């Protein structure tokens, strides 16, 4: 009796988590998969009752999503944008974290907050704010620089700029926190060995930071794959961003603009699969280097 009672306890504790997981994760994913295998079929004019019914189409929506050239163009655009954001944002975040952690820094508190603050601005607001700065007749920048920020060749950089502005602070904080967790006596030992501050940063701090850098990189890969807010918010302001600029924008368009939930469901599953492959692929590549000795 006591044994079986004890055996049931863990399940009881697990129940809330399992129920929430099922309701808000497993069921929606299952529903999406189910939707992705269906399609509406209308007959005749398609008006009035009974003219429209849902039919099963197997993997048709998936093959349509995979063979859609526009979707792959979207991936290419996002890849270019993502590479830019990843390198610049994480580079800046690492630089700021190291600077803030160095012994000689002044105004550390203020700088930390100032760098982090843009992260607190919601993406839509940040993009609108930058949008105003990009528009020719409103922008004070445009008074000085003769650059069309929303042109076909520049719009990717303009969007990446918004993402970098908003994301650097968060990544900086993650890296900075990891830096503070490194035992100080390591630096002391390095200093006794005659290492300069820069040598300490490159030879001690960055290697010790590797797990945190990997974590922020994976976060950022996932975030850039899902880029949606910046291009959708800038789209009304320029004719250089199409409704299918990024894969997620295409999902939104299919589901809510052209009313094809089924294709949208199939495409979002494809996106999830690619996100998984990219994130785990990256982890596989770096795992041995980062954690091989541990």
Partner 1 sequence: MRANRLGAALAAVLTATLASCGSSEPAASPEAAQSPAAAATGPVKLTYWTWAPNMDKIVAAWNQEHPDIQVTVSKQAGGDDAAAKFLTAAKAGNPPDLVQAEYQHLPSFVAADAVADLKAETASIAGEFAEGLWGLVTLGTEGVYGIPQDSGPMMLFYREDLFDKYGLSVPKTWQEYADAARALRKKDPKAYLGTFSSKDPGAFTGLAQQAGAQWWSISGESWKVNIADEPTKKVADYWGGLVKEGVIDDMPYFTPEWNKALNDGRLLTWPSAVWAPGVLESNAPKAKGKWAVAPLPQWNAGESFSGFWGGSSTAVSSKTPNKAAATQFATWLNTDPAALDLLVKEAAIYPASTKAQSALGQAPGYFSNQPDFWQQAATVSAGARGFTFGPNVGVTYNTFKDAFDKALQNKTAFSGAVQAMQDATVADMRKSGFQLAS
**Residues of the shown chain interacting with partner 1 in the complex, contacts defined by CB under 8 A:** 24-25, 28-29, 31-32, 35, 40-49, 51-52, 131-132, 135-138, 152, 211, 214-215, 218-219, 222, 226, 236-237, 239-244, 251, 253, 255-259, 261, 264-265, 268-269, 271-272, 275-276, 279, 283, 287, 291, 294
**Tokens 């492959």 map to which residue?**
277
**Tokens 């929430």 map to which residue?**
20
Cα Rg of the chain, angstroms: 25
Q: Give the number of other Cβ atoms within 10 Å of residue 206's Cβ.
A: 15
Q: Which two tokens stand for residue 262?
A: 């089924």
H-assigned helices in 53-154: 60-66, 69-101, 108-116, 123-134, 140-144
C-beta closer to partner 1: residue 46 or 80: 46
**Most distant CA atoms of the chain, gap in Å:** 85
C-beta closer to partner 1: residue 114 or 266: 266
The least distance separating partner 1 from the CB of residue 237, rounded to whole angstroms, comes to 5
The least distance separating partner 1 from the CB of residue 91, rounded to whole angstroms, comes to 21
C-beta closer to partner 1: residue 114 or 285: 285
The least distance separating partner 1 from the CB of residue 137, rounded to whole angstroms, comes to 5
**Tokens 């250089």 map to which residue?**
240
The least distance separating partner 1 from the CB of residue 223, rounded to whole angstroms, comes to 9
The least distance separating partner 1 from the CB of residue 284, rounded to whole angstroms, comes to 12
Angle value at C-alpha 56, between 54 and 61, nearest 5 degrees: 105
**Tokens 């700021």 map to which residue?**
96
C-beta closer to partner 1: residue 164 or 264: 264
C-beta closer to partner 1: residue 114 or 181: 181
Strand positions, DSSP E, the chain? 38-42, 52-56
The least distance separating partner 1 from the CB of residue 193, rounded to whole angstroms, comes to 25
Instruction: Name the strand (E) or helix (H) holding 265.
Output: helix 261-291
The least distance separating partner 1 from the CB of residue 196, rounded to whole angstroms, comes to 28
Q: Which two tokens stand for residue 59?
A: 């993997």
C-beta closer to partner 1: residue 161 or 268: 268
C-beta closer to partner 1: residue 156 or 240: 240
H-assigned helices in 102-200: 108-116, 123-134, 140-144, 155-180, 185-192, 197-199
């Amino acid at each position: 009796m006591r044994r079986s009672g004890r055996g049931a306890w863990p399940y009881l504790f697990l129940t809330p988590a399992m129920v929430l997981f099922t309701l808000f994760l497993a069921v929606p994913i299952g529903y999406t998969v189910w939707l992705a295998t269906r399609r509406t079929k209308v007959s005749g004019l398609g008006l009035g009752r009974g003219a429209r019914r849902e039919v099963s189409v197997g993997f048709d929506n998936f093959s349509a999503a995979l063979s859609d050239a526009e979707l792959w163009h979207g991936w290419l655009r996002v890849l270019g944008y993502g590479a830019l954001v990843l390198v610049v944002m994480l580079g800046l975040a690492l630089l700021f974290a190291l600077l803030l952690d160095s012994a000689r820094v002044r105004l550390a508190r203020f700088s930390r907050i100032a760098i982090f603050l843009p992260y607190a601005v919601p993406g839509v607001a940040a993009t609108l704010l930058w949008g105003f700065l990009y528009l020719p007749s409103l922008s004070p920048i445009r008074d000085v620089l003769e650059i069309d920020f929303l042109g076909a060749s520049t719009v990717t950089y303009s969007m990446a700029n918004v993402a970098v502005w908003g994301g650097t602070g968060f990544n900086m904080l993650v890296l900075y926190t990891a830096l503070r967790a490194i035992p100080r006596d390591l630096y002391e030992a390095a200093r006794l060995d005659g290492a300069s501050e820069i040598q300490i940063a490159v030879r001690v701090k960055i290697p010790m930071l590797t797990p945190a850098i990997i974590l922020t990189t994976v976060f950022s890969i996932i975030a850039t794959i899902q880029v949606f807010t910046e291009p959708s918010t800038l789209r009304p302001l320029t004719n250089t961003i199409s409704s299918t600029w990024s894969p997620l924008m295409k999902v939104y368009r299919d589901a809510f603009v052209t009313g094809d939930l089924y294709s949208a469901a199939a495409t979002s599953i494809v996106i999830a699969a690619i996100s998984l492959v990219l994130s785990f692929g990256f982890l596989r590549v770096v795992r041995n280097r980062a954690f091989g000795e541990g």
